[in-house]
Each structure stands twice: as C-alpha cells, then as structure tokens.
Amino acid sequence: MANHILPATLATAITITSVPAVAQSPQASEDPPRATSDEPVVLAVEEVKVTALKRRDALNTLPVSVSVVDGDAFVTSSIDTGAALTRETPNFAFAGFGQPGNDFVNIRGVGILGQPANSLDNTVGFATNGAATSALGYPGLLLDVERIEILRGPQGTLFGRNALGGLVNIVTRPADGRRDVGITLEGGADGYQLAEAVAGGWLSENRLAGRLAVRHHQQDGDIKNPVINADEGGLKAAAARGTLSYQIAPHIHADLVLSHDRNEQESSFLLLQEHPEFPISGADQMPYNDRRRSEGTLEVQAEYDAFSLTSLSNV
C-alpha cells in the first residue's frame, strides 16, 4: 500500500525566526587559524544531559542503557510520532492501529502481545519531563520538543511495574529567557496544511521567563470509499503548550508546564485488497477517532552546596 502520511510533493514552507543581533568586528571575517603539523587537533564533543532518572546526569556516566534523540531530528510536520521515533532509535519497535491512543511500543523485544486492558497495563512506561503519563496518551504531537530519552528496562524502581521493557521520556523546550520567535507555514496536496508558532523570552528580567508554542495540522483523506461516497484517511490535529519558569530565590526556582492537544483521524481499517483500484475501502460508515489530552507539570528545585531537593507534581 502506498504511503499517504505526508504528500509533500507540492508542499511549500515558510519559516520566520527572530534572534538577537550580534555585532561583528572586522577581525571576525578573517579565516580562523589553521593548526600546523606540530599543533595537536582537539575535537570537543558537547555533553549530553539526561533527566529521566529524576536527576540531571551526563549521558556517559549513567549505569543504564540510554538513547537520546534530539528534537531537531524529527520532521516538524510529522503526525506519526511513534514511527518517527522508531527510525531514530535502535531496539525500539512501534505498532500503530491507526487510532490515537492505540499505539504501542516494545523495547528490546519486551512489549505487550495485544491491546492493553487499561491505561496502566503496559510494559513500556511513558513520561513527560520526568512525570509518568498514561500509556493511552502516547504518542503526543512532538511540539517544541528538546529531546526524547529512551531508557532500556527494567525501570520499575522509578516508574512502577509497567516499565519492565523501559521508559520513553519526552523533554520539552524550557523557558530559559532567551528570545525566540518563529512561525512555520506549510501547504501541499490533498488539503495538507500546517501552521506553527513559537515565542519565548523574559517576562520579568532574570525573574520570570515564558514560552508558548501552538500548532494546527490537517490533511484531507485520499482513500476512496464508494460505499459511502467519501474519502477516508483524513486527519486534524491541534496542540498548545505554555511554560513558565520563576526564580523564587537565588537557589530555588519553579517550572510550570501546561499543555493540551487534540487528534482526530479517519483511519481506514477495511481495505479491499483484491480490488483493481486498491487502496479502496469497503466500510459502510466513516471511521472516526478523537483523542483529547491535557497535562500539567510543576517542578520546584532547591539547590544547595551539598545537596539538592526536587518536587515534581503532574496531573
């Protein structure tokens, strides 16, 4: 069956980004000095930090097997989060049934054999910014994501019995005070449309920072159904996330993240494989799935010379 996820052959994209201007001195345009044969060449690798174990650790010091995927590795308009993550992560498999909330994961072969009985009946745990979330809430739209951490299991000590196979932790971009304004617009065949906007910066200098990201994504169906005389496979998704970071005291700060997304899909299930015009559907009604997901996380950290304290709440 042909892939109908992203018909972008006629797509156009417009991106507007605003960043602080930096003055350039005349010397900056000169070529950097080249190392001679007598000078050693030093290559610096940026240190990767992981927070899925309830603390901030360097990736190379962790006693567990971890894969970290940078948020920039994903296509902005990707509606299929699970498949996109599978392509970037070894030993990670994803199975989707075309319904939001019925997408399941196994890590190193450990996963459920069928559909779970409830939102907690799973073998791979899911978390957002370190706070455990429902399995039926995965995968959410990858909106303004900084990185995704995949911990191979078992991880039951921190995340309960449903993390036998491992854990998927999605880390969103923080409100760090840096000015960041961006707009992305895309359009293509089959009614494909995407609009995304991101804005962040200081609300009160060195005291309160904020960040807001919104996205709307829709696409018409392209699988014909002569029974009901309509096209199946359409989708519509929208998401929004607001982040506030408040410096309560020199050694205490709080981060509040509020998000909501809605995913509507008309995924085809009954395809007539022997039909000469395959793919074509034979369902007698339009399939429809609607998932609405809201989440709030509050993290308060107090850092001292000898130790640090962290409080993490999630609803």
Helix (H) or strand (E) holding 12: strand 12-18
Query: Domains along the chain?
Result: 48-172 (2.170.130.10), 180-314 (no CATH)
**Dihedral over Cα of 308, 150, 242, 183: its sign:** positive
Contacts of 104 (CB under 8 A, 6+ apart): 94, 95, 96, 111, 112, 115, 116, 122, 124, 135
What distance, in Å, lies between the first and last C-alpha atoms of the chain? 40
Global confidence as pTM = 0.76
Band of the pLDDT at 7, cuts 50, 70, 90? very low
pLDDT, tens only, 115-173: 666 666 678 888 888 888 876 666 667 889 898 888 887 877 777 777 888 888 889 99
Q: Which run of H or E residues covers position 145?
A: strand 145-152
* Amino acid letter, residue 314: N
At 78 the pLDDT is 58
pLDDT, tens only, 197-241? 999 999 999 999 999 999 999 999 989 999 999 999 898 999 999
Alpha helices in the chain (DSSP H): 81-88, 156-159
